Structure 1
């Protein structure tokens, strides 16, 4: 992994969704390195460099965070809140990627400064297409803030 490699932190507890995201972004965005954690506590440990992630070379700052809301241990809303309250992390774009289309979840996410809110489609093809679009926009067209 080089310094120009775009890093994505994927916070997703569904292994099937995580694999599809990993494959789709890997196919479309060859320069992307995906770090996957499956619960909110692990995401915050990674981002705040605690526990197994204490060494900076083991936990490089992501350029993008894909965050599910329904997570074990610490839910996605609390992870988002922690990210956006941290001076070291708040510039990292956070894309909510969830099955919930509930208005209260959308409002709560944007009130906590989510950068985008995407509802996972149920069909395989639609999900794959959405992830390709995410990769093109956030990893190709978007300009990331310096670390």
Structure 2
């Protein structure tokens, strides 16, 4: 089982590169699986489509979830994660540029563990990535993994 994988759900190529650069610069060496839309994220988590046959017990330690995604939006991805017993306890951090209060409220209502607005400035983004990695990958006590 691969430990401490991060699932980055991000459709913006620039934000994807920025996130990966920020992790590398902050010495966060975890494997990062990138899903570029909500449907791909769900396929990865539930071993469907292109990920059929993947071990569903091998869940990421953390999901970084954008909200404004093609195919299936981030809130629906979150809803489906929380609705399945295999993934209901999976830590999900919404990482978005959305400034809409309704997204924030609905994200927490659907069970997001955290809601972080993407900083525009690269140095601020680096610091946010460092803190996310430090907290969610090192300090946070993750829930036990369920098989199913």
TM over 0.5: yes
The answer for the alignment partner of 2:65 in structure 1 is: 67
CA distance in 1, matches of 2:92, 2:134: 16
1:28–1:136: 8 Å Cα contact kept in structure 2?
Answer: no
TM-superposed CA distance for 1:76, in Å, is: 0.3
Deviations 1:28-63 (A, max 9, x none): 222x11000100000011111101111225993111
Preserved contact between residue 10 and residue 34 of structure 2 (Cα < 8 Å): yes
> For residues 115 and 60 of structure 1, what CA distance do their matches in structure 2 show?
20
User: Is 1:29–2:28 an aligned residue pair?
Assistant: yes
Instruction: Give the 3-state SS of the residue equivalent to 1:6 in structure 2.
Output: coil
Q: CA RMSD for the aligned pairs? A: 1.6
Please, which runs of 5 or more residues in structure 1 have no aligned partner? none
Per the alignment, residue 49 of structure 1 pairs with 47
Moved over 6 A (4+): none
- Report the Cα distance in structure 2 between the residues aligned to 1:110 and 1:58, rounded to whole angstroms: 25
- Listed one character per residue, the Cα deviations across residues 85-123 of structure 1 (whole Å, up to 9, x for unaligned) are 111001110000000121111100000010000001111
Cα distance in 1 for residues equivalent to 2:124 and 2:46: 34
TM-score where L is the length of structure 1: 0.91
TM-aligned CA deviation for residue 5 of structure 1 = 2.9
Matches within 5 A, 1:1-147: 3=1, 5-26=3-24, 27-30=26-29, 32-57=30-55, 60-147=58-145
